[in-house]
Amino acid sequence: MKKERIIFLGIAIFGVFCIAAYAVNKSKGCVKLVVPEYLEFEFCSNLFMDFPTIYFESGKSRIPRSEYDKLHKVADHLTKNKNLTVRLVGHTDEDLGISHERLSQNRADSVKYWLQEQGISEKRIRAYGLGHSKPVLKEDGTEDKPKSRRVEIKCCI
């Protein structure tokens, strides 16, 4: 009973934080924090933290070597915080001739398998592919293809 009260109190305090954050930035409903210096978190009312995004080459699901530093930092954080779970969301650009859903799922799975190789339990990782449903847009409204080829890592609190 005491443990349940503590958990409820923690959730209530976090909820108040999220409401305060929403009041601070109504346009986004979130507040950005940088903790520690290499990870940028965005605490939102839906109880997720965003880790750095992992980008891919066109038509590929293999993780580029340039993204390994980001993934190592994510794995280190997850190793230190065993209560956190991760949602991996894969995306594609609009290149024709590619199965968007399959490629986006393969990208998310690549990150999932990489994290598992680093010792993160499969039970703590969920991978989803959204295809081309949420492209990243430039200021002029056109798609930013290199940034659309990505896996977003959301840490569930």
CA atoms of 104 and 75, how far apart (whole Å): 21
Tens of each residue's pLDDT in the chain, 157 residues: 444 444 444 444 444 344 333 333 333 444 444 444 444 444 444 566 778 999 999 999 999 999 999 999 999 999 999 989 999 999 999 876 568 889 999 999 999 999 999 999 999 999 999 998 888 988 888 889 999 999 999 987 7
Q: pTM for the complete prediction?
A: 0.69
**Tell me: the pLDDT tens digits for 30-58?**
444 444 444 444 444 456 677 899 999 99
Q: In this structure, what DSSP letter does residue 119 have? A: T
Domains of the chain (ranges, CATH numbers): 1-41 (no CATH), 51-156 (3.30.1330.60)
**Considering the chain, what is the average pLDDT of its residues?**
77
d(CA 98, CA 93): 10
